[in-house]
Amino acid sequence: MPGRPLILYLTVFENSMGCVLGQHDESGKRERAIYYLSKKFTEYEAKYLSIEKFEEYEPLRFDFPDEDLMCITEKEYELSKEKSWKMSFDVASNALGHGIGAVLEGNHYPFTARLNFFCTNNVAEYEACVMGLRAAIERDIEILEVYGDSALVIYQIRGDWEVRDLKLVKYCDLVTELIKEFKEVTFNYFHEKKTNWQTP
């Protein structure tokens, strides 16, 4: 609401950061979330000076569908770890650049960011996938179904297609490392039969 103060909650650790932007409702007693951003730094970003870590990403404005939800109880959190979650990722591109997004569908957690560097659409798709996987890891999700509309990214991750672009090799290697954090991960190109990835 215009003219009403905003409230920013920011948490920064050595290897990750998260923030929630909120605002009081009409009563002035209840807070509503406007948008949420969570990011785990890559190995290279963790070596940057603190001010440099945030230059690459800018959160996009996102209205929470569950705007009254501000926390999850410990019991709900433990139950959420045991069930299968779905994660969808996608990108939006225009002349100004790329926006990436991912949604964890167990409880509805949306994540969005803007890439402030020039890249191809395929790189942006990988960025979106990585963002969603890291969000799932941060929530200790153990079983995950991943859905994307980029055949190239899904098939490369599954090993069906060879990765030739050197930029994409690094992303594919990063995803391979991230999926080791799960008990089971499936990567699905929309409406296609699932392929299971088991990790020891």
Phi, psi (rounded to 5 degrees) for 146: -105, 130
**Count of domains observed in the chain:** 1
69 band by pLDDT with thresholds 50, 70 and 90: very low
Query: Is residue 4 domain-resident?
Result: no
Query: Is residue 135 domain-resident?
Result: yes
Query: Is residue 35 domain-resident?
Result: no
Report d(CA 189, CA 176) in Å as an integer: 17
Query: Is residue 22 domain-resident?
Result: no
Query: Is residue 28 domain-resident?
Result: no
Report d(CA 182, CA 200) in Å as an integer: 9
**pLDDT of residue 144 exceeding 90:** yes
Query: Is residue 96 domain-resident?
Result: yes
Structural domain that includes position 92 = 55-198
72 band by pLDDT with thresholds 50, 70 and 90: very low
Query: Is residue 18 domain-resident?
Result: no
**pLDDT of residue 77 exceeding 60:** no
Among residues 117, 82, 77, 81, the alpha carbon closest in space to that of 100 is found at 117
131 band by pLDDT with thresholds 50, 70 and 90: very high
Q: Residue 176's CB: how many other CB atoms inside 10 A? A: 12
51 band by pLDDT with thresholds 50, 70 and 90: very low
175 band by pLDDT with thresholds 50, 70 and 90: very high
Structure tokens at 137: 């890891």
- pLDDT computed for residue 63 by the predictor: 45
Query: Is residue 110 domain-resident?
Result: yes
96 band by pLDDT with thresholds 50, 70 and 90: low
Whichever domain contains 93, its CATH number is 3.30.420.10
